[in-house]
Structure 1
Amino acid sequence: MQVFKKTGLALTAAIFSIGLMACSPEVGSEKWCEQLQDKSKADWTANEAKDFAKHCLL
């Protein structure tokens, strides 16, 4: 019975995570640029910094 609870919890977490990713704005969109500006630059990934420079500054 305990195994089913752990499996169910893991499955629920995976579905929730996929759902959150589906709600993320498209890279380079105005909303994405705004979200990245609100995020601490120390938390940006290298790809985010590159995409921000490419889509939001130029």
Structure 2
Amino acid sequence: MKKILALFIVSLTLTACAPEIGSEEWCADMKQKPKGEWTAAEAKDFATHCIF
């Protein structure tokens, strides 16, 4: 039970560290991600925040 709880806490901690959309870090991460894996929303946000 303790292992499951510890795994849950670690996974929440790691997922909460995603950069904010439009930040320089997010733009850099998107540039590294293959464009075929982008969603339509990610492509729109990238164009809005990182190009213009």
TM-score when normalising by structure 2 = 0.77
The count of residues paired between Structure 1 and Structure 2 equals 52
Runs of 4+ in 1 over 3 A off after TM superposition: 11-17
Aligned-residue CA RMSD (Å): 1.8
Hey, what does 1:51 align to over in structure 2? 45
User: Which residue of 2, 7, 13 corresponds with 1:19?
Assistant: 13
- Tell me, which stretches of 5 or more residues in structure 1 are unaligned? none
1:3-57 alpha-carbon deviations (Å, 9 max, x no partner): x7xxx74x66554443222111000000000000000000001110000000000
More helix by share: 1
- Tell me, which stretches of 5 or more residues in structure 2 are unaligned? none
TM-score when normalising by structure 1 = 0.70
Q: 1:19 to 1:49 in 2, by over 3 A?
A: same
Q: Which has the higher contact order (CA 8 A, sep 6+)?
A: 2
Q: 1:42 to 1:14 in 2, by over 3 A?
A: farther
Q: 1:16 to 1:33 in 2, by over 3 A?
A: same
